[in-house]
Chains A and B, each alone.
Chain A
């Protein structure tokens, strides 16, 4: 059957939409693959779960008394712990407002031998807020770890839950 102009136009439209959709899908998948961040706790890292990721997020509590500042730069080292593991972290820069002993934090970075080199450190936003995913990750790793009440985060503010 010969194509009349209307059919031809419709076909062009449909084909171009399909092509555009395919390109969009490929781009989205690529962007997703490159930017997925996994959240792991120190014990998960130590059991080897981090080996397949170059960068990931490390979540846990700051071990009391582990924060060590350098005398002449912004370099700081501290240890992130969960109930079954500990991970030394190195970071150069300004720490968030609420960074202190026994605070839950999420650090983004990569492993360098047995150290975690952080490029970004986030702390929970106020004392009633704890990142839900961190809470879950820690609860999953250690069911017996005492963690703050879940209700608190429900009343968390609009605004960026950043440190």
Chain B
């Protein structure tokens, strides 16, 4: 009976979402305050019902209710309770429910904190959020019901996909979704701005922390995914340009452009149309990402053969969101545009170049990711684009960004002066060159590694110079407001990230070897002694576990236990062993026994020495932290606007220049 209540809750939520999506829009159009006032209670009610549905699904997993098809497909009696909860988002239906749940959390927060926005604008924003919810709830109810029954009820369920049975991976989807869904706020702002024909700087200021937080969550999710791929896939790689990774990377790139574009629009009022366009794209790509990953449409347009309704629904939904908002943009953007002019040498120009690069990079990734579909449509045969395509174009596009980044903060809005730039160029340039020359002796002249050191020094000296400038020129207490500190952190993160990528890619030593017990391999200055493998078991898996002792100059460094797990339904999953360090990782993964009947004999093993690989995620985490810190700036919290005209016509908020 309970699962049916979940479905009922979803239907009620859909009705409330319809009310939240339509009535306030009508109210804002006709100037009817009663209709506008529907937005907040409807949003709250919808959130209650969605939370109920979500809770009921969690409960079904906790209680082993295998009469629910989704529960039976994704869990079993041996699955520990924490993985049973993670199993809620272990497949398509539950993921969508998680998505809509997070959307409701964002909407409720928006409703609570938007009291000080002009009523007409706030109700339009909430209405757009409601319309998004309508799309997702309808998708769940009509095509992807997580509460469908399975009769007769089986005695035990199947299993959660073993790739999800990892502590890091359980949090990856919710964090990623929080990022995806967060872009809906910027989207709602953009659409509300277009509908009303105006976008006040003060409103953009209010929207900025939301975008920053969404982007920071997305960063966190991507870093977690990359870490997981490194630790779990047993290949030692951290990024594969895989369609699923690209799906989250595209909104990240556009979101990165958006947080910078919003800064321009908020401070100077210019580039409003561009900011709106990026808001639309960031959210559209988030939608695309959500659907691409779950639908399997990427590798084949025929993936929907089993349930064409889903495919048609997704296509229709995307068409309405992307097409509708772009149409609205074409009609209304000229009315919204405006702002102050700027010279060639100015902060706007640098930010704009960065924006352009991010946008082009996102388009490049989109083309590469969707190429199998394009190839299919053009009858090119079964074709896909390999990682070298991305690996060649992406660094090329990011090169100007890395080169220009130190200058950005030094430039003034509108018109910057050149002498200060020469100073930065000279100081950071000399530091980078000097360190590169020194580094060249340590890395055997490997160009990539030298470039890594040079970019790290170039970027971090740039950040440092600006930090010093603030220290000298600004009175105490106002030197590093949160917005500034976040920017410095994130930019430093770029340096750490670039260094991590280039150094680890050029200096890694990898070796696939066959080892009998007692044999030793010498890699990167370390001796790996294979002591053989044995059987071991866990709650819902059994594994072959290898034992490798690592020594350096006869001193013990680590004892590593890589595993090859076999889960209940026979899925095999590699659990590599990593000995982590700030400057190097040692990484061991089990391949396979040379003789399948003798696991105590020789094995094939992957042995890696990976210097600086941790800097990749370290840099990502610094960027994430920067995003969160930025969002905490007091400036973004609207004080009660000096004058709030609530008369239905001509709502204007006095610009509060903080």
Q: Which residues of A contact B (CB under 8 A)?
A: 24, 27-28, 31-32, 34-40, 69, 72-74, 93-95, 97-99, 125-127, 131-133, 135-137, 149-151, 153-163
Contact = CB atoms under 8 A, between A and B. Distances in A.
Contacts of B161: 126, 156-157
Nearest to B375: A36
Contacts of A157: 90-91, 161, 163-164
A112 to B, nearest CB: 20
B570 A94 contact: no
B461 to A, nearest CB: 29
Contacts of B300: 132-133, 135-136
Interface stretch (B253-261, B280-288, B384-392, B478-486): B384-392
A160 B383 CA distance: 18
A155 B111 CA distance: 34
A118 B540 CA distance: 35
14 contacts: A34-B389, A38-B382, A39-B381, A97-B574, A127-B569, A133-B300, A133-B382, A150-B302, A153-B303, A154-B310, A156-B296, A157-B91, A157-B164, A161-B244
Interface in B383-417: 383-389, 392-393, 396
A31 B594 CA distance: 39
Given A94-B606, A132-B303, A162 B235 contact: yes
Contacts of A131: 299
A127 B570 contact: yes
Contacts of B172: 158-159
B592 A35 contact: no
A74 B302 CA distance: 37
Given A150-B306, A160-B233, A35 B385 contact: yes
Contact of B512 (A31, A34, A94): A94
A119 to B, nearest CB: 11
A99 B294 CA distance: 25
Given A38-B382, A38-B383, A150 B303 contact: yes
Contacts of A35: 385-389, 392
B228 A159 contact: yes
A159 B382 contact: no
A132 B296 contact: yes
Contacts of B117: none
Contacts of B367: 28, 32
B307 interface: yes
A13 to B, nearest CB: 10
Given A133-B372, A156-B296, A159-B163, A34 B229 contact: no
Interface in B243-280: 244-245
Contacts of B228: 159
A9 to B, nearest CB: 8
B384 A37 contact: yes
Query: Which 7 pairs between the two chains have the least Cβ-Cβ distance?
Result: A132-B300, A94-B591, A132-B299, A39-B382, A35-B389, A151-B306, A97-B572
Given A127-B570, A133-B299, A155 B73 contact: yes
Contact of B296 (A73, A95, A99, A154): A154
Contacts of B470: none
B293 interface: yes
B139 to A, nearest CB: 14
B533 to A, nearest CB: 15
Contacts, number: 149
A153 B296 contact: yes
A160 B381 contact: no
Contacts of A163: 233
A84 to B, nearest CB: 17
Given A28-B393, A94-B592, A150-B306, A159 B573 contact: no
B507 interface: no
A69 B595 CA distance: 9
B92 interface: yes
B443 interface: no
B530 to A, nearest CB: 14
A36 B225 contact: no
B605 to A, nearest CB: 8
A126 B162 contact: yes
Contacts of B546: none
B173 A158 contact: yes
A135 B592 CA distance: 27
Nearest to B158: A128
Contact of A159 (B229, B383, B386): B229
A154 B307 contact: yes
A72 B516 CA distance: 11
Contacts of B570: 127
A146 to B, nearest CB: 15
B512 A93 contact: yes
B124 interface: no
B439 interface: no
A69 B90 CA distance: 37
Contacts of A28: 364, 367, 393
A31 to B, nearest CB: 5
Interface in B117-150: none
Nearest to A158: B293
Contacts of B2: none
A127 B514 contact: no
A142 to B, nearest CB: 14
Given A32-B385, A155-B294, 12 more contacts: A34-B389, A69-B594, A97-B564, A132-B300, A153-B303, A154-B92, A154-B294, A157-B163, A157-B164, A158-B225, A158-B293, A159-B164
A162 B236 CA distance: 12
B244 A27 contact: no
A73 B604 CA distance: 9
Given A94-B592, A126-B161, A132-B303, A39 B92 contact: no
B165 to A, nearest CB: 11
Given A27-B396, A35-B389, A160-B244, A133 B384 contact: yes
A39 B393 contact: no
A150 to B, nearest CB: 5
A34 B375 CA distance: 15
